[in-house]
Amino acid sequence: ISLCTPALVVDVDKVKRNAQRMIERFQKLGVQLRPHMKTHKTLECADIMTGGSRRSIVVSTLAEASFYADHGFDDILYAYCLPFDKVERCASLSERLDLFQVLLDHPDALEQLRKRPLAQAIHAAEGVELTGVYAHCGNTYNCKGVEQIQAVAQETTNLTLQFMEKLKGVGISCKSSIGSTPSCSHPVQDMAQLSEVHPGNYVFYDVQQSLIGSCSLEDVAVRVLTRVIGHCPHRNQLLVDCGWTGLSLDGAGKLPTGYAVIEGHPDLKLLSMTQEHGRVEPISGKLDYSKYPLGSLLTLIPYHACATAMMHPVYHVHSEGRLVGTWTPTRGW
Amino acid sequence: ISLCTPALVVDVDKVKRNAQRMIERFQKLGVQLRPHMKTHKTLECADIMTGGSRRSIVVSTLAEASFYADHGFDDILYAYCLPFDKVERCASLSERLDLFQVLLDHPDALEQLRKRPLAQAIHAAEGVELTGVYAHCGNTYNCKGVEQIQAVAQETTNLTLQFMEKLKGVGISCKSSIGSTPSCSHPVQDMAQLSEVHPGNYVFYDVQQSLIGSCSLEDVAVRVLTRVIGHCPHRNQLLVDCGWTGLSLDGAGKLPTGYAVIEGHPDLKLLSMTQEHGRVEPISGKLDYSKYPLGSLLTLIPYHACATAMMHPVYHVHSEGRLVGTWTPTRGW
């Protein structure tokens, strides 16, 4: 491959497969899938995750919300407890879009929303409407294996459904939305009683998700390509051109192979990184430098795809080994 | 301040003071200062560091080199051992610029350079010229205090000067360039015998540099502003709107106050971060939530300014508490 390294490469066929599986999984359960955009923040991937509908997405920043709104997306849920410094921007999005949803977790936040003339207008006209209850079962990230994931998914589903019953008891009927990538990769039957789920990472997956049991390493759709740029026999190390600007520092201390899995080289470890350099050493024994000539490529499977993608201003997209284009994410807040 | 958070803010007066001190320090020693751009990657900061000359800089990526070349900078040193996938781009920069320098650390790299038609042309016309020897005393980052910094600076200077003598012995006369922010913040007299120094971080400084002894915490020119967005009394924690997308994960486990120093609150610790959330807890005792109402600002002093700046697509610049503009860094490779 002629790409300059370090480069984030995306296997679009795996992306489509991961997305399609999630769509089918929740069609079968009769539950609305509202995919989260935070991992990739691109239009192309959003199209794939929504099956081309450009409807019903979750975002983690208002920069994402505006970016998607600018490109014809609608029914956007800003999965962030209404930040007081961004009420005007939220109000403006709610004016532009058919449906823009924000989260409230405190009476003060409702007060902030009501204080704004626009929100007052909405309130007078149609009311600030309670759409539903939003929860994230982040504790699935401590799981190992499908059984543990499904135990957490079951528990979260039970708690959410019980809460919905209590709301109904006081006359409030609304939607319920839960879901992390682990639980939505292995849903339990009772999740059919929820209104919607909102996983995001699954479109790329990563080493972390494979260790949790959400996917196999085969399913991971992103890699960072890096080149050998130095031989350091006095330290029994290789230098590569991927530092933390290309991979992020996420996953420190989590893997026997260091900050990433080096594809096809289970005996190598990405020991440490500076801004633009990585140090690779064998897990045991002496490096055979003839296997890693200067300029040769190594392929890193990221520990955490959200953190790695965030470091790249452009993603290089390939299908069956051929580059087919680039995707450009949005950034900022 | 009316900024949406998280926001990277830069105190331009401190930037100018840090830059001016470094300029004067090496004017006095009669050594060329060649400032490194990797920390900020902006035009404005580069102007300040070069005293407006737009000459003699170091960059860490070819994206930086092109960015600065596009804006009239010249005499650019690409401080990276010639990457074989980027020889053409280097050749093109060397055509555009009066002076473009690359590093070689291996005979194969020289071979790569010679193989290219352009490099051959250069060679035929003027020769691939050995400009000098470039070293980075990264071991100053293990120092605590001026005495240790100066011991490393002295050792690096001695080794470099001895090497220059050996080169002279075989008829090679060229420049010598060393220097990290710690050693250049406290240079030893013998550094006057070097040709140039190339520190970079000093323009911002950070908590790490203050712990090493390069600067005081007062000198640090960057902050991340974040807002309290949640009270979690059941965990004795605050939620803030700065996650690793706003600060980076650099500095994990290095500070008693967690991932940053929270200005004016030495009793608080930035315990952990997700993509867009930070968890803050008291180092001891119970949080007094009345001191941290929802929406109130906290100011994070970054552990490593290079890593934190990298996460921001725009920097907010202020002088004496007033916002005076924004700086936009270049990204990628």
Which residues on neighbouring strands pair with residue A239, listed in sequence order? A230, A279
Residue A23 tokens, joined: 């769509």
Question: Which band of pLDDT confidence, cut at 50, 70 and 90, is reported for residue A122?
Answer: very low
Structure letter (DSSP) for residue B249: S
Reference A100, options A126, A120, A124, A79; nearest CA is A79
Residue with tokens 């971080």: B201
Helix (H) or strand (E) holding B132: strand B132-134
Q: What is the pLDDT of residue B111?
A: 77
Contacts of A201 (CB under 8 A, 6+ apart): A36, A39, A181, A209, A305, A306
310-329 in chain B: CB under 8 A from chain A: 310-314
Show the CA angle centred on residue B5, arms to residues B3 and B9, nearest 5°: 65
Query: Where is average pLDDT lowest: A156-160, B100-104, B126-130?
Result: B126-130
Architecture of domain B217-327: Beta Barrel (2.40)
Question: Which band of pLDDT confidence, cut at 50, 70 and 90, is reported for residue A126?
Answer: low
Which residues on neighbouring strands pair with residue A134, listed in sequence order? A177
Residue B27 tokens, joined: 């004017």
Q: Please give the mean pLDDT across all residues of chain A.
A: 93
Decide if A331 touches B, using CB distance below 8 A: yes
In terms of CA atoms, which chain B residue is nearest residue A246? B332
From the list B38, B249, B306, which residue is nearest A250 (CB)? Answer: B249
Q: What is the pLDDT of residue A285?
A: 97
Kindly tell me if the per-residue pLDDT of A3 is higher than 60. yes
From the list B5, B85, B295, which residue is nearest A227 (CB)? Answer: B85
Give the gap in angstroms from C-alpha B43 to the nearest C-alpha of chain A: 19
Question: Which band of pLDDT confidence, cut at 50, 70 and 90, is reported for residue B2?
Answer: confident
Q: What is the pLDDT of residue B159?
A: 94
Torsion of CA A8, A12, A14, A17, to 10 degrees: 150
Most A CBs within 10 A among B228, B279, B297, B333, hence the mutation to make, goes to B333
Residue with tokens 């330290």: A235
E strands within A107-254?
132-134, 175-178, 196-197, 222-232, 237-240
Q: What is the mean pLDDT of residues B121-134?
A: 66
77-106 in chain B: CB under 8 A from chain A: 80-81, 83-86, 89, 105-106
Q: Cite the residue boundaries of each domain of chain A with CATH code 3.20.20.10.
A: 12-203
Model pLDDT for residues A18-28, shown as the tens digit of each residue: 999 999 999 99
From the list B89, B227, B244, which residue is nearest A307 (CB)? Answer: B244
ipTM (interface predicted TM): 0.93
284-303 in chain B: CB under 8 A from chain A: 294-295
Model pLDDT for residues B6-60, shown as the tens digit of each residue: 999 999 999 999 999 999 999 999 999 999 999 999 999 999 999 999 999 999 9
Model pLDDT for residues A59-90, shown as the tens digit of each residue: 999 999 999 999 999 999 999 988 889 999 99
Reference A312, options B61, B303, B44, B117; nearest CA is B61
37-76 in chain A: CB under 8 A from chain B: 38, 60-62
Give the gap in angstroms from C-alpha A104 to the nearest C-alpha of chain B: 11
130-189 in chain A: CB under 8 A from chain B: 138
Helix (H) or strand (E) holding A165: helix A146-169
What proportion of chain A, given as a percentage, has pLDDT over 70?
Answer: 96
Q: What is the pLDDT of residue B1?
A: 57
Cα end-to-end distance, chain B, whole Å: 34
CA distances from B261 to A141, B1, B211, B221, B224 (A): 28, 20, 12, 14, 10
Q: What is the pLDDT of residue B116?
A: 67
Contacts of B296 (CB under 8 A, 6+ apart): B227, B228
Decide if B332 touches A, using CB distance below 8 A: yes
DSSP string, A20-63: HHHHHHHHHHT-EE--B-TTT--HHHHHHHTTT--EEEEESSHH
Question: Which band of pLDDT confidence, cut at 50, 70 and 90, is reported for residue A107?
Answer: confident
B60 and A275: CB-CB below 8 Å?
A: yes
Q: Cite the residue boundaries of each domain of chain B with CATH code 2.40.37.20.
A: 217-327
Gap between the Cα atoms of A226 and B209, Å rounded = 30
From the list A2, A81, A313, which residue is nearest B229 (CB)? Answer: A81
From the list A275, A294, A311, which residue is nearest B306 (CB)? Answer: A275
Q: What is the pLDDT of residue B122?
A: 44
From the list B83, B230, B250, which residue is nearest A227 (CB)? Answer: B83
Q: What is the mean pLDDT of residues A233-240?
A: 97
A84 and B307: CB-CB below 8 Å?
A: no
Core vs surface per residue B148-186: b (16+ CB within 10 A) or e = bbbebbbebbeebbeebeebeeeeeeebbbbbbbbbbbb
Structure letter (DSSP) for residue B258: B
Domain boundaries B12-203, corresponding CATH code: 3.20.20.10
